[in-house]
């Protein structure tokens, strides 16, 4: 290693819950097997390039609080090269096996479409070498279609066709980069794909354009050899007032309408779920039930305000609920857990980035252990399944198979008489969870 960007920090190891070393894992033991898979396989944890390497902590009220040694003022390409070294040093020390990036995180935008592509290609070659040397892989790539002023009214849904063309150029290059780096997935987060004012917006046209654009991206990716999964990441608002990919349910409907459901799945982000007034588990369940759960952006939102705070996920209860859904769904396949999370603006020590990732990984590892016990030993899901036992009886089965009419229901109601009330047992289930923690 030429320059060490995180001096004084050794590789993070599992030391168990008894350890008081804050730079160690208490629960995440990558080789430990739970429910038939190692923890490493369950999570496929990923570092988000943008939050960890690019975000200096600025907010609308003030400039950044962190100064990164890899940021070389006035030399964006040199900064990109150093940032890549820092990224791989960080992931190696953390034992994080995957990463995710936007094109512009990896390489700076150039003065023209061609220059931007050349910058990206140059950095992709370097990243490919680092992947080979370290064994770290790309979980997903994406294109930043929201920061440049040209995208102020959206990318694929922009009313100006020339902006749509620029978005196309960028997505083509980002798909190429993802393929070259062996990415398992390619993500579309609809950054500004939505509207702020209905009276100047043709919503139907914009949604049709988005559907067409995604079909083109899919077709290009497939013919260029991309065998992974395309993902849409729902979010209801911010930066746009009304975003089209509002929540999992809206995106599932959209994918079916535009014939994308065979190639696309969903990337569910916890904080986006809460912005849509859903729980993280609700969104995961909705996607899983549709057979479209692809990957996770792991973070946590402050529920007291209405924006995306992207905290590191340290809410154990929320993580347990998520892990129950995930274990029942059989996991994420070639998806993973990307830490789309940032340390707080006032977390300014070099080690804070490590502590934050350790906290997130330990939270989910501990949640996995608890969820597995809740399912296998406490049989917590039996409470749910038992509520539907009447559908195992012949008439209930006929109903599900579409063999009954409304008149049949009336006859059965008379025959069965007034139903006995059945408790939902919510407080009991909640106590069992608390006792398992």
- Tell the smallest beta-carbon distance from residue 233 to Co ion (Å): 5
Please, which residue, 47 or 369, has the CB nearer to Co ion? Answer: 47
Q: Does the protein bind Co ion through residue 269 (CB under 5 A)?
A: yes
Catalytic residue chosen out of the listed positions 29, 71, 82, 105 = 105
Among 89, 283, 308, 340, binds Co ion (CB under 5 A): 340
Burial class (CB in 10 A: 0-12, 13-18, 19+), 378: middle
Say whether residue 105 binds Co ion (CB under 5 A): no
CB of 98 to Co ion, least distance (A): 14
Q: Can you tell me the distance from the alpha carbon of 368 to that of 43, in angstroms, rounded to the nearest whole number?
A: 10
The partner in contact with residue 142, picked from ligand XUL, Co ion, none with C-beta cut-offs of 5 to 8 angstroms by kind, is: ligand XUL
- Site for Co ion (CB under 5 A): which residue of 29, 89, 297, 308? 297
The nearer residue to Co ion, 120 or 268, going by C-beta atoms, is 268
Closer residue to ligand XUL in complex, CB, 176/233 = 233
Nearer to ligand XUL, 102 or 366 (CB): 102
Q: How far is the CB of 235 from ligand XUL (least distance, A)?
A: 6
- Whether 278 sits among the annotated catalytic residues: the reply is no
Q: Which residue's CB is nearer to Co ion, number 263 or number 269?
A: 269
Residue 321 contact, options Co ion, ligand XUL, none, Cβ 5-8 Å cut-off depending on partner type: none
Nearer to Co ion, 30 or 297 (CB): 297
- The option from Co ion, ligand XUL, none interacting with 93 (CB < 5 to 8 A, set by class) reads none
Smallest gap from Cβ 45 to ligand XUL, in A, equals 15
318 binds Co ion (CB under 5 A): no
Q: How far is the CB of 108 from ligand XUL (least distance, A)?
A: 17
CB atoms under 10 Å from CB of 132, counted, come to 10
Residue 154 or 301: which CB sits closer to Co ion? Answer: 301
Residues in the interface with Co ion (CB under 5 A) total 3
Q: Tell me whether residue 142 or residue 363 sits nearer to ligand XUL (CB atom).
A: 142
- Binding region for ligand XUL (CB under 6 A): 102, 142, 187, 189, 233, 235, 269, 297, 308, 340
Cis peptide bond N-terminal to 192, omega within 30: no
Positions in 25-54 near Co ion (CB under 5 A): none
Told to judge if 102 belongs to the known catalytic residues of this protein, a careful annotator would answer yes
The distance of closest approach from Cβ of residue 235 to Co ion in the complex, given in angstroms and rounded to an integer, is 8
CA atoms within 13 A on the CB side of 9: 22
Catalytic, out of 102, 166, 278, 357 = 102
Query: Whole-number minimum distance, CB 171 to ligand XUL, in Å?
Result: 12
**Residue 226 binds: one of Co ion, ligand XUL, none (C-beta under 5 to 8 A by kind):** none
| Segment interacting with Co ion (CB under 5 A) among 22-30, 205-213, 262-270, 328-336 | 262-270
- Distance of alpha carbon 354 from the chain centroid: 20
The entry of ligand XUL, Co ion, none near residue 235 (CB within 5 to 8 angstroms by kind) is: ligand XUL
Residue 300 contacts which entry, Co ion, ligand XUL, none (Cβ below 5-8 A, type-dependent): none
Spatial neighbors of 117 by CB under 8 A, at least 6 apart, are 110, 169, 173
Q: In angstroms, what is the minimal distance from the CB of 311 to ligand XUL?
A: 13
Nearest to 312 by CA among 265, 270, 349: 270
Interface with Co ion by CB under 5 A: which residues?
269, 297, 340
> What positions carry a catalytic annotation?
102, 105
């Amino acid at each position: 290693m030429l320059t060490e960007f995180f001096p004084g920090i050794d590789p993070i190891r599992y030391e168990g819950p008894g350890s008081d070393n804050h730079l160690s894992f208490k629960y995440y033991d990558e080789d430990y097997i739970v429910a038939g898979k190692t923890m490493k396989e369950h999570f496929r944890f990923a570092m988000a390039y943008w939050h960890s390497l690019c975000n200096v902590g600025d907010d609308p009220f003030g400039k950044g609080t962190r100064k990164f040694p890899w940021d070389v003022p006035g030399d964006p390409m040199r900064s990109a090269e150093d940032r890549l070294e820092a990224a791989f040093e960080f992931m190696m020390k953390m034992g994080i096996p995957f990463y995710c990036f936007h094109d512009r995180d990896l390489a700076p935008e150039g003065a023209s479409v061609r220059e931007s592509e050349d910058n990206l290609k140059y950095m992709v070659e370097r990243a490919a070498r680092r992947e080979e040397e370290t064994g770290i892989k790309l979980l997903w790539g994406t294109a930043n279609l929201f920061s440049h002023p040209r995208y102020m009214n959206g990318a694929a849904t922009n009313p100006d066709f020339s902006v749509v063309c620029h978005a196309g150029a960028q997505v083509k290059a980002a798909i190429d980069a993802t393929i070259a780096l062996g990415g398992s997935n390619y993500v579309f987060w609809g950054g500004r794909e939505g509207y702020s004012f209905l009276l100047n917006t043709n919503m139907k046209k914009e949604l049709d354009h988005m559907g067409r654009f995604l079909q083109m991206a899919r077709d290009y990716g497939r013919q260029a050899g991309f065998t992974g999964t395309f993902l849409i990441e729902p979010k209801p608002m911010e930066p746009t007032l009304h975003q089209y990919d509002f929540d999992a349910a809206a995106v599932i409907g959209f994918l079916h309408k535009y014939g994308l459901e065979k190639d696309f799945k969903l990337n569910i982000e916890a904080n986006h779920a809460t912005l849509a007034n859903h729980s993280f588990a609700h969104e995961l369940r909705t996607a899983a039930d549709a057979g479209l759960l692809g990957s996770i952006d792991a973070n946590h939102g402050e529920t007291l305000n209405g924006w995306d705070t992207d905290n590191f996920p340290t809410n154990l209860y929320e993580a347990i609920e998520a892990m129950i859904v995930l274990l029942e769904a059989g996991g994420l396949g070639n998806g993973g857990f990307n830490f789309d999370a940032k340390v707080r603006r006032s977390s300014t020590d070099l080690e804070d980035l490590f502590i934050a990732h350790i906290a997130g990984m330990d939270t989910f590892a501990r949640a996995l252990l608890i969820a597995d016990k809740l399912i296998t030993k406490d049989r917590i899901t039996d409470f749910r399944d038992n509520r539907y036992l009447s559908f195992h009886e012949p008439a209930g089965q006929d109903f599900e198979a579409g063999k009954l009419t409304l008149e049949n229901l009336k006859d059965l109601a008379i025959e069965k008489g007034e139903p006995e009330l059945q408790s939902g047992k919510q407080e009991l289930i909640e106590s069992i969870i608390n006792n398992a923690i």
